[in-house]
Chains A and B, each alone.
Chain A
Amino acid sequence: MTNARLAVPAPTHPDSPSTTRSSARRGERAERDAEFTAFVTVAAPRLRRIAYLMCRDWHLAQDLTQTTFTKLYASWGRIRHATNLDAYSRRVLMNAVFDHRKRRHTSEVVLAELPESAPPVRDSATDLHVALMDALATLPVRDQAIVVLRHWEDHSVDAVSQILGVSVSVVKMQNARALSRLRALLGEDFGTA
């Protein structure tokens, strides 16, 4: 029980430097954790939506978001004052998405050939977003990331290139390629809605 008293911020005694030091460290940690919690509160909804657009599964989107914050907290002391925390958190999230794809592809066993399915019939613009998500899913994963970061999140080409760690010209090229692919898949609906 006597040990529990250490948990209370003790008055400073010159002869008990360790107590002082440990309570100072505790205060610092509490402050750091409060900062982290505030960051999570603000950033989580947006990160989860990005993840959802990448994987179309809210459970998985939640897991990927959690993985992202776990990794961010593991390095929080180093990154908390970074000016580009938003970009950094998106990079960590996208890496989690890429990792997950890679793991899924190596662990999946193809049991049978899937039947060729006809393109789904759509009768109105109400499910244009479904068509867009279907079309997005046919793109290579990095192109998907570029489209989501650029056109859902409104990041500049420069920002996207930093987040994904690829050159500006690659972002421009792949973005153009992805958009024309989406246009081709969505037909006339796209760009007029």
Chain B
Amino acid sequence: MDPDLKAIFGRAFDDEPPPPDDLAGHAMVAGTRLRRRRRLLVGGGAAGVVATIAAAAVTAFVALPAAAPVDRPSPPAAAAELLVPPNTSCFPPNGRPPTSVAIFLTLDITDAQRDSLRETLRSERSLTDLEFEGRGAAFAKFQELWREDPDKVRRISESQFPDSFHARITTPSGYDKIVAKLRGVPGIEAIQAAYCPGGAQPGEGK
């Protein structure tokens, strides 16, 4: 109709970023969760499960300098299963200020280290809604999410899941502050950020 219009639109993509990694993979994991949630909703299944079914949000791990010797366990493969967009309202930050953070603990963290970390996080003013998730709860979530894929559930055991802390970030620079503060703190396996526009939390289903 207006061939010019198309040509002009075509010039609007100068700053187009490269395509993201593994879009299909993320969509498949998040889509599987979405399907499960829908099925639960349709079946009138436990609403509580629906609300908590999605796990931690996503993005690349922030690798922390090893505070312990190199022989500590590598990031549990199990946790990686949860590191994908859990719902359609949280995304990898892609350069935006993260609004949520998850801190995964090492499998060999001591009670004293965990208590000390909890105090550190609780006193951090750029964090709010701090929650602890034990490995049992994480594993239960994982089992529920992947109930249709028993092979996958069988391959991973509860002992491979890490404990974790989750919190909402209240300031744009909050995430960088947390990462800096936690550098070298023992017992941390990985820190993970998510961007949830509109104040959603990773884990809140839509």
Cβ-defined contact, B11 with A152, below 8 A? no
Question: A70-B34, A70-B88, A191-B2 are known contacts. Are A41 and B8 too (CB-CB below 8 A)?
Answer: no
Collect the chain A residues with CB atoms within 8 Å of residue B31's CB.
Answer: 69-74, 76
How many residues on chain B are close to A (CB under 8 Å)?
A: 41
Say whether A67 faces chain B, with CB atoms less than 8 Å apart.
Answer: yes
B82 to chain A, nearest CB (A): 16
Collect the chain A residues with CB atoms within 8 Å of residue B151's CB.
Answer: 6-7, 22, 26
B1, B13, B88 — most chain A CB neighbours (10 Å): B88
Cβ-defined contact, B9 with A74, below 8 A? no
CB-nearest residue of chain A relative to B30?
A70
Collect the chain B residues with CB atoms within 8 Å of residue A7's CB.
Answer: 151, 155
CB-nearest residue of chain B relative to A148?
B9
Inter-chain CA distance A133–B151, complex, in Å, is 50
A188 to chain B, nearest CB (A): 12
B84 to chain A, nearest CB (A): 10
Segment from A55-63, A80-88, A109-117 that makes contact with B: A55-63
Cβ-defined contact, A69 with B24, below 8 A? yes
Chain A 41-66 interface residues, beta-carbon cutoff 8 Å to B:
41, 44-45, 48-49, 52-53, 58-59, 62-63, 65-66
CB-nearest residue of chain B relative to A128?
B8
State the B residues within 8 Å of A (CB).
1-2, 4-13, 15-17, 19-20, 23-28, 30-32, 34-35, 38, 85, 88, 91, 94-96, 151, 154-155, 197-199
Pairs across A and B, CB under 8 Å, 7 listed: A4-B154, A53-B12, A71-B34, A74-B38, A103-B198, A128-B8, A154-B6
